[in-house]
A and B are shown apart, each in its own frame.
Chain A
Amino acid sequence: MIQMKPAGLALHGVVKRFGPTEVIPPLDLVVVPGELCVLVGPSGCGKSTLLRMIAGLEEVTAGRIEIAGRDVTHAESAQRGVAMVFQSYALYPHLTVRQNMGFGLELAGRPKAEIREKVDAAAAILRMTDYMDRKPKALSGGQRQRVAIGRAIVRQPDLFLLDEPLSNLDAELRNEMRVEIARLHKELGVTMVYVTHDQVEAMTMADKIVVLNGGRIEQAGRPMDLYRDPQTAFVAGFIGSPRMNFLNGAALGEPSVHTWGIRPEHLAISPTEGDWPATVELVENLGSETLVHLQADGIGPVIVKLGRDATFETGGHVFLTPDPSAVRRFGADGKPLRR
């Protein structure tokens, strides 16, 4: 049977430089055992580099990495007890699904019966039993993804690393696999570090989200904490879809506020009365919700999200009212202003 003993992960002052360019400035991070930690951030912010350092595929320029309390900064990948799922899946094209999944155990010289048993168990968990003798090129994207995950499961790692595992799948499959991975995490009770640039994945899956920007941690915390209480304007803009409306404080009569933020769902819309007069520019009807793009007079473009089906005439005049308790104000340094 497949059983894991989840391990904690700790990074202490980890730095990565490629020649003169510092991709990761000193960074500290703790992932507690059994947690699903999502590293999220825009493309090129150093997520993969960080993950690869944890996996031992990239040298650490400075700092210390601990897995399960053991210093592994200079340990070989294979000695770290980690398994990694690559964005490209990295399935061995010349091996069948079964051989792909059992490869790690086979290299470790485990008995055939044990390999077979574990591979079968992983295949059952992933519902891949019917495809075990196919080569990767005869599989669909979602099936390849499962094999890549299966290969990681079979090795019973203490720590799972996933680098944008869903980015090559179409939207529907992505949703399905998202649920699947979250389910696996619960069933196996394993520690996962999951990298993505998609904040929806981060919000729906994570126990803890770590928002990275330019190699630095902007904020780390539970998804709803980040949503409700963003510590920087970057996090406020990155978490939540559609993104928070950022307005100019001066235009709203608050000159000390650099960025005045309100989420689209925290604006009320009314045809007759409200704080800001606005013109409807575009209405996106998604069925269960409606996105209204407006131009607020003297303020700028604003998006409003309504949790219902609604009809507005393009070019029509309406009034907007922000929920005062939901307003987030940020200074020029991107830090929140308290008042």
Chain B
Amino acid sequence: MGVATFLGRRAGGRKASFTDWLCYAYLAVAFLTIALPVVWLVLSSFKPESELTQYPPTILPNAPVLLEIEGQPRPLPAYTIEGREGVFGLRAQVGRIAVLIDPHPPHEQVRVEATTITRLAEPHLEVSNYTEPLTARLSAFDFPLFLYNSAFVTIVATILSVVMNSMAGYALSRYRFRSRMGFLLLVVFALMIPQTVILVPLFLVVNSLALYDTLWGAILPVAATPVGIFLMRQYMLTLPEDLFEAARIDGGSEWQLFWRIAVPLSMPAIAVLAILSVIWRWNDFLWPLIVLQRSENYTLQLGLNAFQGEFEVQWHYLLAMAVLSLLPVTLIFAFLQKSITGGIATTGMK
């Protein structure tokens, strides 16, 4: 299917109906609200530091045109003045008065109202926003280390999450034991409690287990999630009981029934769970912020925080590194998109 036919899809009929238009409008609004901030982030990450604070803000990444002028200690930004020919270097701006210098001898000084001058800019990608934090080892930002920490937390937490949630889901869907319903209700209730509510007790538990300020402290409390248990249980309920009985007659142990039958057949749900877990853990900020203290334990999301100093925010680095931290999850989505949507459709999850 080409892009045009894809975009022009209709519910049916030869002409787009009212509901089709409504649908397009809704999708367009949704797309813009989701995509615009990301586009803005990416564009801004390529702007030089001075451009970020420019008012009015520019859309595309530009850099000011600079003029080397004899007698001036440093290059001056180029401006045009309303009603005058030529380009001038801005030396100072005090209140509403701007002081400009003609680059051509005899370097005449001009004082005009600040509202009458216009800055000159040229397209420019400030790649150093990316390269400097990555290579120059800025004081507080150790990208490779943070990347490693993030990857470690994400991968280990996801593996644990898949294993534990699918085992819990298997037990809740296959075994008949007393208080089975009670357990399930507990899980459903846990679904309704926001993480912020249990933050303090969770911290106390983690602290008393000597997990404070370790990566495991960021991993273990979030390994088994109510969402994951519920998702796996619902999916495994749909597997036909006959298969498990057949395997039982074939001599399968409980573990083999789980591992050889339930797990392979639950792959769509497991894929969804794994991908959700990767996204959650990768983007997690609040819990790691609380549990991780020393900067050598920081994940990327915490590391980005280092650009927000006490007195100034290094926006140009912050934005560039934020773009980098988005990449892995974006790539996962791009490549596994089919299996995510397919899996969600078959698990009945929205």
Contact = CB atoms under 8 A, between A and B. Distances in A.
A163 to B, nearest CB: 10
Interface stretch (B66-74, B155-163, B186-194, B244-252): B244-252
Given A94-B264, A107-B260, A88 B250 contact: no
A84 B247 CA distance: 10
B250 A57 contact: no
B261 A92 contact: yes
A103 B251 CA distance: 9
Interface size bracket, B side = 10 to 19
Contacts of A77: 245, 248-249
Interface in A150-166: 151, 155
B236 to A, nearest CB: 14
Interface string B244-275: 01111111110010001100110000000000
Nearest to B261: A92
A108 B251 contact: yes
Interface of A: 55-57, 76-78, 82-84, 86, 88, 90, 92-94, 103-104, 107-108, 151, 155
Contacts of A92: 243, 246-247, 261
A43 B264 CA distance: 34
Contacts of A56: 249
Contacts of B260: 103, 107
B246 A78 contact: no
A77 B257 CA distance: 13
B108 interface: no
Contact of A84 (B240, B243, B246): B246
Nearest to A89: B242
A57 B249 CA distance: 8
Contacts of B265: 93-94
A192 B345 CA distance: 43
Nearest to B244: A90
Give the 9 A-B CB pairs with smallest separation, nearest first: A104-B250, A78-B251, A90-B242, A90-B246, A94-B264, A77-B249, A77-B248, A107-B251, A88-B242
A95 B251 CA distance: 17
B242 A86 contact: yes
A78 B249 contact: yes
Given A92-B261, A107-B256, A107-B260, A78 B248 contact: yes
B245 A90 contact: yes
A87 to B, nearest CB: 8
Given A104-B250, A107-B250, A107-B252, 9 more contacts: A76-B248, A77-B249, A90-B240, A90-B243, A92-B261, A94-B264, A107-B247, A107-B260, A155-B250
Nearest to B239: A93
